[in-house]
Amino acid sequence: MKLYYAPGACSLGIHVILEEIGVPHTGQLVNLREGMQYQPAFKAVNPKSKVPVLELDDGTALTEWIAIAGYLAAMFPEAGLEPADRLERARAMSYISYINGTMHTQGFTRIFRPERFSPNPEEKEAVRAEGRRIFSEGFDLMEQALGEREWLLGSYSIADAALFYVSFWAEGRNTVPLPPGIAAHYARMKARPAVVRAMTQEGLI
């Protein structure tokens, strides 16, 4: 399999999952700053011009974080990255959907891409402030969900990989402060060998 990624982007979470599973894979760097996602070669792989993309052995290209993570967890059950219980699987998808669809898309994107929400330069800081509010509120909600547990579902799952990539954006890019429980979760994630490998390969540590 081949993972199309950008260092430190949301694709980092998928990279972590691949390392946790231990399945052979290669990485294909997509330089977002240079606009590689809009070049014909990449658009032929993903017309949506974004990472992550997971290219399977038969050439099939999977896109969208939630779909890729769910596919990997289901295809490699021996890794134990999704619960066997259907309700708990739904809970995992609920957390991931919120992280991916609200914290990421509505919160973090407002902070770093305010022009997508308003073409008026005078509104840029107001857009960013709203992004920080949404992003911070998301961490507060995830703190409540985590409670006293080490992992969101009690045992480690793909939901923790999702929480990790937004925590990396908060802590590593000094975006918003992490609540104590999420900060502890982030520290536990960084100590996992799979996370160390993924971050090392992406040049993040």
Q: What is the pLDDT of residues 66-105, one digit of tens each?
A: 999 999 999 999 999 999 999 999 999 999 999 999 999 9
Two tokens, residue 5:
């990624």
Average pLDDT for residues 113-124, to the nearest whole number? 95
Other Cβ atoms less than 10 A from the Cβ of 174: the count is 8
Strand 26-29 and strand 2-5: the pairing is parallel
Closest C-alpha to 99, from 37, 36, 67, 141: 141
pLDDT tens for each residue of 21-33: 999 999 999 999 9
Q: CA angle at residue 162 from 182 to 159, to 5 degrees?
A: 85
Residue 172's pLDDT band (cuts 50, 70, 90): confident
User: Whole-prediction pTM value?
Assistant: 0.96
The set of residues, in sequence order, having a beta carbon less than 8 Å from that of 29 and lying 6+ positions away, is 5, 6, 7
Strand 2-5 and strand 53-55: the pairing is antiparallel
Two tokens, residue 84:
């066997």
Two tokens, residue 119:
């073409």
